[in-house]
Amino acid sequence: MQHKSFGYTALALGFLEKLLGTRFSLHNLEKVPKDQPVMFVANHFTRSETFFLPYLLYKYADRKVKCLADSKIFVGNFGKFLNSIGAVSVKDPNRDTIIVNDLVNNYSDWIIYPEGSMIKSKEIRNDGTFINYTPYRIGPVRTGSAVLALKSQLIRSDIIESHHKQIANINLHSSYKDRYNPYLERYNTYVVPVNITYYPIRPGVNKIQKLATRLLKDIPSQILEELEIEGNILLNSEINISFGDAIDVGQYIKTTRDLVQQIPIIKGETKNNFVVRYLRNKLTYDFMQKIYFDIQINFDHIFISVLCYFPEEKINKQHLKRVIYYIANLLRKTHRYRLHSSLFEENLMQMFLDEPNKAFDGVFDLALKQNVFSCEDEVLTINKDYFNKSTDFHQIRLENTLQVITNELALVDNVSNVIKKVVKISQEELIYLVYQQLHLQDKETFLHQHQTFFDKNFTKPQNIGTPYLLEDNLSNNSVFADLGIILVHGYKSSPAQTLEMATFFNNKNIPVYGVRLSGHGTSPLDLKNTSWQEWLDSLQRGYAVLSQFCQKIIIVGFSTGGLLTLVKASLINKNSKLKGIAVVNSALKLKDIRAKMVSGINLWNELLEKFDINKGKFEFIDDKPETPEFNYSRHYLSSVVELEKLMKYCQDNLSKINTPTLVIQAMHDPVVNAVSGNIVFDNIASEKKFLFTPNLHHHTIITGFGKETIFIEINNFIKKIS
């Protein structure tokens, strides 16, 4: 009956998981010992953990796990259901015997929450032991789970030894006498620490709460709080479950047990009790340390901790972003911590793009609402009293959410020290460190791809493909510039294509960033599987670099780079640093008839793939580019499809562009249909827009004949909008 109930429960919870859209991720599940009895010990923040953790272990590891539950819910049909799946009331007089018996014989695993109750505040301090702070009890984490794990191992060892010595062990509890079976010798009890981290944690009305209040009247405030917080977690949060290194209790007790067994006169049961008393606190501390250290650190943790430890009362919003970025960068380099994707380089960089940013904006709005700070003209005034504010235990997750998140991070070894160190770095020094790191990451990505996709027939020298930053007028002591320019090269090309223009502007003491679009500057095979969104990400990194020290930014894009520049302008916030864009021969409409054939060829290739036929496929086209020193002479059809997607997305979003714009389109461009310039000019919403149509007959007009005309036109445009 119990096994059937596990199956029914898993089916019901699986349906609920799909219905809610709950996002679970399990980390290090392989650390759970197979075919061994396991005591899972976990932190306890929500009531729903009691249900979803056994379900996930059943679903992904085929383990049938029992748990203790509050005695108050063992009533009526629901109580019968809990009994049917093996749940045991915390007040059941036989609970310890049941748990130990299951572990001794490997009948089922168990989950116990050593904190003893839901720690809604996450207020736990480490003073040589872990102390919980709740309205019901202030004191050390409970050692009951350690005691049960130790007892199960000791009793199993006694049963085995009694059998081998052919003597009855009078010290064994009657429940365990005459229970020897050869399989017992294959088992050791294991304790597996489990950390459960939620991100983001947000208060607010949700569908589950609405439904409950519609169906039920006079719901107690404590239950309303749980419906609000846990409803949002189940509907909107990522739930990360990490399994720590398993503790083999047999090995854990071996030395102590061997020593105690040598003591004469004392009875066996007394010896076992001595081992338990000696090791219970140590074992508890060891696995709780693993639980608390193994949290998945996320963006909210760093955000609120920076405000908590920042030595001054005021902090500039941009400086706050740089501090968060640099802290996450340092933590990542240690390889000691589990970091949420919100702290990955590619996501952190997005804070500097002058676009809506879900990670930063979400926690910023919550902090503003909960009076962590006030904000005026991009300067935050931190309310230092917030971090010492006393809040009702059952309301703290609603009223003081970010304090809960601060408490969670406080126990992680050395993270607070890293934060305290970085918040003391001066604004000027941090600007320098951050922009260097952003640029270094770009160069390292290129070098890795250059090495990975090296092709002796196609790969150009590294200096052709390396992204560059011309900033001769900047130093560690002078990191501010009024204006910076980003240059974006064309399809199949490389940053070297824009270097002459970069030199022109840098000679006017303007910092210039030469973007390398992902997949470019290495070999055509690298470009084959690169999406247009990845090309855009490359432009974004250049923007992130210049935004560190430039008050105003101009983007100049050539050909495909022009399309990406237009897309960037369509995404920007109103009060951004982007003050103008210039697009040169933007590839909105192409002349080459082969480009129109690509969709049909790809369809043909996909058809052949379905039948596992390689012969007859058309994967690439070879051509002779205008500037072979910069460009690939081969392009794969899959990347042409990406170009088509970019062209469509760009055209569909032209009306969102309000940034001052210069459109340059050569009248006799042999690659791009000259109508492209008019389409862009006519459809953008910019009040300040200019169209220049030079009488030139080649596509790459930013190099070779006529380039000076283009450079001067762009320079005049910059003067106009300044």
Long-range contacts at 96-101 (CB < 8 A, ≥ 24 apart): 96/148, 96/151, 97/173, 97/175, 99/66, 99/148, 99/152, 100/148, 100/151, 100/152, 100/155, 101/175, 101/176
Here the tokens at position 561 are 């780079």
**pLDDT confidence of residue 722:** 81
pLDDT in tens, 252-264: 999 999 898 888 8
Segment 563-575 shows an average pLDDT of 95
**Residue-wise over 565-584: b if at least 16 C-beta within 10 A, else e?**
bbbbbbbbeeebbbbbbbbb
**pLDDT confidence of residue 5:** 61
pLDDT at 101 over 80: yes
Segment 686-693 shows an average pLDDT of 96
Among 422-426, 433-437, 591-595, where is mean pLDDT lowest?
Answer: 591-595
- pLDDT range class, residue 347, cuts 50, 70, 90: very high
**pLDDT confidence of residue 175:** 56
Segment 663-679 shows an average pLDDT of 94
**pLDDT confidence of residue 452:** 93
**pLDDT confidence of residue 9:** 67
Among 362-371, 385-394, 409-418, 630-639, where is mean pLDDT lowest?
Answer: 630-639
Report the percentage of the chain scoring pLDDT > 90: 69
Beta strands of 472-605 (E only): which ranges?
A: 481-488, 512-515, 550-558, 578-584
**pLDDT confidence of residue 472:** 64
**pLDDT confidence of residue 137:** 86
More confident of the two residues 69 and 712: 712
pLDDT at 273 over 50: yes
**Residue-wise over 419-431: b if at least 16 C-beta within 10 A, else e?**
beebbebeeeebb
The DSSP string of 287-305 is: HHHHHHHT-EE-HHHHHHH
Give the integer Cα–Cα distance in Å for 652 and 37.
59
More confident of the two residues 312 and 261: 312
pLDDT at 594 over 70: no
Cis, bond preceding 356 (omega within 30 deg of 0)? no
pLDDT in tens, 181-240: 888 999 999 999 999 999 999 999 999 888 888 887 888 888 899 999 999 999 999 999
Segment 643-655 shows an average pLDDT of 95
> 578-584 and 661-664: which strand pairing?
parallel
Here the tokens at position 269 are 């049961």
pLDDT in tens, 358-387: 999 999 999 999 999 999 999 999 999 999
Is the Cβ–Cβ distance between 323 and 429 less than 8 Å?
no
Averaged pLDDT score across all residues of the chain:
89
Segment 243-272 shows an average pLDDT of 89
pLDDT in tens, 162-180: 888 776 554 555 555 557 7
| Strand, coil or helix: 521 | coil
Segment 547-564 shows an average pLDDT of 96
Maximum C-alpha span of the chain: 108
The DSSP string of 674-719 is: THHHHHHHHH---SSEEEE------S-TTSSTTHHHHHHHHHHHHH
| Full set of structural domains in the chain with CATH | 2-202+237-293 (no CATH), 297-425 (no CATH), 429-590+640-721 (3.40.50.1820)
Among 293-302, 502-511, 612-621, 691-700, where is mean pLDDT lowest?
Answer: 612-621
Cα 436–Cα 499–Cα 492 angle in degrees, nearest 5 = 95
pLDDT at 87 over 80: no
- pLDDT range class, residue 520, cuts 50, 70, 90: very high
pTM for the full predicted model? 0.89
- pLDDT range class, residue 267, cuts 50, 70, 90: confident
Q: How many H-runs (helices) and E-runs (strands) does the chain carry? A: 26, 25
Give the integer Cα–Cα distance in Å for 553 and 565.
12
- pLDDT range class, residue 592, cuts 50, 70, 90: low
pLDDT at 531 over 80: yes
Segment 32-46 shows an average pLDDT of 96
**pLDDT confidence of residue 593:** 43
**For residue 191, which of 149, 237, 243, 139 has the smallest C-alpha distance?**
149
| Strand, coil or helix: 559 | coil
**pLDDT confidence of residue 597:** 44
pLDDT at 274 over 70: yes
More confident of the two residues 160 and 657: 657
pLDDT at 714 over 70: yes
Compute, in degrees rounded to 10, the torsion defined by CA atoms 42, 43, 48, 54.
-10
Question: Quick one: three-class SS letters along 427-489?
Answer: HHHHHHHHHHHHHHHHHHHHHHHHHHCCCCCCCCCHHHHCCEEECCCCECCECCEEEEEEEEC
Cα 516 to chain center, whole Å?
Answer: 25
pLDDT in tens, 461-519: 999 999 999 986 554 445 678 999 999 999 999 999 999 999 999 999 999 999 999 99
